[in-house]
Structure 1
Amino acid sequence: MASVSFKHRLEYLGLRLAAALIRPLPRKVALKVGRLLGRLGMKLLPGRYQQAKENMSKALPELSSAEIETNLRRCFEHFGMSSMEMLRFDLPASDPKAVRNHIDISGENHLKEALALDRGAILLTGHLGFWELGASIPTELGVPVDIVAKPLKNPLSDAYFEKIRKSFGANILSSRKGAKRILKSLRAKRSVGVLLDQHISPPGSVPTDFFGRKAYTTTAIANLAMKYQVPVVPIFCLRKPDDRYDVWIEPMLLLSADNGQSVESNTQLLTDIIEAAIRRDPSQWFWMHKRWRVKNKQVKGNASE
C-alpha cells in the first residue's frame, strides 16, 4: 500500500462515518439523502459545476439554457444517489431489498455468445449511470470478471472500495500497465470491464470525435481486440425514473484489420457506441470530467504524421 498521510486518514475517517450512517438506512431513504447531497454538491463544488455546464453546453448545443440547467441538476442528484448505492453495494447477502434486486437485464445472450468463442471478452462501458452495478452483471450470470480501475489517491479509501467491488466476485486490475493486465486476464478466458470514456494523453491514444469535438481516447482496447480477436461486448446501466436500473448488453463486435479497418477507426467505433448510450439519458454521464483536451494544432499534427 502507498504511504498514508494524515489527510488520507482524515478523509478515510469521514468515509467510514458516512458509511456507518448510510448503510443501515432503507434504500429509499439513502437515495433521498444522496439526491440532497448531489444538489448540495452543485453549490459546494462550483468548479465541477462550471466544468460540467461547459461540457454539456458544447456537446449538446440543441438544448436550451433551461434544459441544460435541468440536466445538470439531475446529473448531480444522480451521482449523489450513486454514491449512496456504492456505500451499500456489498449488502445483498444480508439485505433482500439491496440494489442488485432492482435490475432489469436484457441481452444476456450476447455475452454468452461472446464467451462461447473461448477467448475471454472485453466489456465496453463508460462513466454512465451506475457503471459499478453494470460491471457486476457478468458475475450475476456466472461469468468471471475483472474490472480495470484507476487507483484512488487515498490508498485507504481505495482499499475500502476495492473490498466492496470484490464482494460481488470481481477482481480489480489497476489501470497502471493496464494493457498487460487485461491481456493476462483475457488469456485466462475471463471477461474484463473497461471504461473507455476517460482522457488518455498520447502516446497510446488518438483523437476521436466525441459529441462533435475531438477527445483523446486510448487505443489499447482496439489494439488488443484486433490483435487477439477478442470479442468486445458493450454493456451499460442506466437509472430508471423509479430508481430501478436498466442494464442492456449489446451484440459483440469482432474487430479486425480487414476491409480497411484500423486501430484509429475501431477506436472511433467504440467511442460512437459510448456516445449513443449517453444520449439515451445525458444527465447520467460524468460531465464533470475534463474529457476534451485536444487542441486544433494537435489534431492537424496527428493527421500529418
Structure 2
Amino acid sequence: MRARTVVDYAVYLLVRVVICIVQAMPARTARQLARWLAWLFCKLLRVRAEVVDDNLRHAFPQLSAQQRSALALAMWEHLFVLVLEVAQAARKIHHTNWRDYATLRNEDVLVRMLLSDRPLIVVTGHLGNFELGGYLLGILGFPTYTVARTLDNPFLDRFVNRFRATTGQYIIPKKGGYDQIVSVLASGRTMTFLADQYAGPKGCWVQFFGRPASAHKAIALLSLENDAPIAVCAARRCGNAMQIELLVYAVADPRDCPANADPIRYLTQWYTTRLEELIRHTPEQYWWLHRRWKDTRRHQLQRKQAA
C-alpha cells in the first residue's frame, strides 16, 4: 500500500470520527463549536483574511473596516455551521419530517419546471447551504445532476458522493463530464451548477458586484442548445441551524433572449446579476474567501488596448 493511500485513508477515518462526534452533539454545543472555530480561523489564523477583506471592500464600499471584520467573522461561522448541518442531515432529515427543517418559497414555479418535459438548468452559488439544497430536492422526489470537482482523497470523495446520492443527487465529474451533461439535458432531466466561480481568462466576462468577473460560458450555451430554462435558486439559512429556505428566485427562458443581444453574454450576465442580488440579501452566507475576481485588472487593460 502506497504512503499516499495510507495518509488518505487515515484522513478519511479522522473525518468519520469527527462526524460521529458532531452527530452526537446537542444543537447548542454544535453552534458554540462553530463560533469558536470561526474566531480561530478568522481572528487568530487569519485564513485568507486579505482576500476576504478585499472582496468585501469592493462589494460593499460603504462598510467600515470594523463592519467588514464583523461580516468576515459571520461568514466563517456560517461555513462551519454548514459543515455541521451536512454532518447531521442524514440522521435528522427524512421523507416524513423534512417540513420541520425546510421552508419552500415559489414552490409552484419549481415543481412546474421540474415536471415539465423540457430540461432544466438550476443555477446557484456558494450561498447558504447549497449541499442541503440538493439533499432536500432529492427528498422531495426531484433527483438532480450536479457538476463537482473530484476530491484528491478518493476515500473522502466516495464518502461525500454517497451522502449526496442518498436522496438522488448524482455527481458528474468536472473534468471530462461534458458528454454526461449533454446526455442528462437531452433526456429532459435537471442539471445543477454552482455558477459563481472564476472561469479563467477565456471565460465570459460579466459584471459582478461592480467589477468584471470571468464566468463559465457553458451554462448559457447548454441552455440555448437544449432549450432549457435557467432557474436561479438558493438554499438559505433562516434563523437557527438546520432551518433552510428553498427559494426559486428567478427564471430565464432561452426563447426570450433579446434579438439584438449576444445570447451567451446576455444569459450569463442575467444569472450572475440574479446571484448578486441574492447574495446582497444575506452576505454573511456567501463564501467571500474565493478569488472570484482574478485577472480583473488584466482584463480591463486588454479592453482599453483593444479600444
Q: TM-score, normalised by structure 2?
A: 0.89
Q: Which moved more, 1:294-303 or 1:168-177?
A: 294-303
One-letter amino acid of the structure 1 residue matched with residue 235 of structure 2: C
RMSD over aligned CA atoms reads 2.5
One-letter amino acid of the structure 1 residue matched with residue 20 of structure 2: A
The 5-angstrom pairing of residues 259-298 of structure 1 reads 259-262=259-262, 263-298=264-299
The 5-angstrom pairing of residues 91-110 of structure 1 reads 91-92=91-92, 101-110=100-109
Show the counterpart of 1:165. Answer: 164
The 5-angstrom pairing of residues 114-125 of structure 1 reads 114-125=113-124
Q: Deviations over 1:63-100 (max 9, x none)?
A: 11121111111110111111111112221367988x87
Deviation at 1:55, TM superposition (A): 1.2
Match of 1:249, SS state, is strand
Match of 2:167, SS state, is coil
Deviation at 1:251, TM superposition (A): 4.1
In the alignment, the residues of structure 2 paired with residue 6 and residue 54 of structure 1 have an alpha-carbon distance, to the nearest angstrom, of 39
The 5-angstrom pairing of residues 213-232 of structure 1 reads 213-232=211-230
Matched length:
302
8 Å CA contact 1:100, 1:133 repeated in 2: no
Q: Deviations over 1:228-249 (max 9, x none)?
A: 2101111101112333222211
One-letter amino acid of the structure 1 residue matched with residue 57 of structure 2: S
Match of 1:273, SS state, is helix
8 Å CA contact 2:51, 2:289 repeated in 1: yes
| Residue 129 of structure 2 corresponds to residue 130 of structure 1 | yes
8 Å CA contact 2:198, 2:214 repeated in 1: yes
Show the counterpart of 1:192. Answer: 191
In the alignment, the residues of structure 2 paired with residue 216 and residue 105 of structure 1 have an alpha-carbon distance, to the nearest angstrom, of 31
* Structure 2 residue ranges without an equivalent (≥5): none
Show the counterpart of 1:27. Answer: 27
In the alignment, the residues of structure 2 paired with residue 214 and residue 78 of structure 1 have an alpha-carbon distance, to the nearest angstrom, of 27
Deviation at 1:298, TM superposition (A): 2.6
In the alignment, the residues of structure 2 paired with residue 167 and residue 236 of structure 1 have an alpha-carbon distance, to the nearest angstrom, of 20
In the alignment, the residues of structure 1 paired with residue 236 and residue 31 of structure 2 have an alpha-carbon distance, to the nearest angstrom, of 15
Equivalent of 1:211, from 198, 209, 212? Answer: 209
| Sequence identity (%) | 26
Q: TM-score, normalised by structure 1?
A: 0.89
In the alignment, the residues of structure 2 paired with residue 172 and residue 144 of structure 1 have an alpha-carbon distance, to the nearest angstrom, of 11
* Structure 1 residue ranges without an equivalent (≥5): none
In the alignment, the residues of structure 2 paired with residue 95 and residue 269 of structure 1 have an alpha-carbon distance, to the nearest angstrom, of 34
Q: Deviations over 1:126-165 (max 9, x none)?
A: 0001111122333233222112211222222111111111
8 Å CA contact 2:146, 2:171 repeated in 1: yes
Distance 1:211 1:24, change over 3 A: same
In the alignment, the residues of structure 1 paired with residue 101 and residue 296 of structure 2 have an alpha-carbon distance, to the nearest angstrom, of 43
Match of 2:288, SS state, is coil
In the alignment, the residues of structure 1 paired with residue 234 and residue 269 of structure 2 have an alpha-carbon distance, to the nearest angstrom, of 18
Distance 1:31 1:100, change over 3 A: farther
In the alignment, the residues of structure 2 paired with residue 131 and residue 219 of structure 1 have an alpha-carbon distance, to the nearest angstrom, of 21
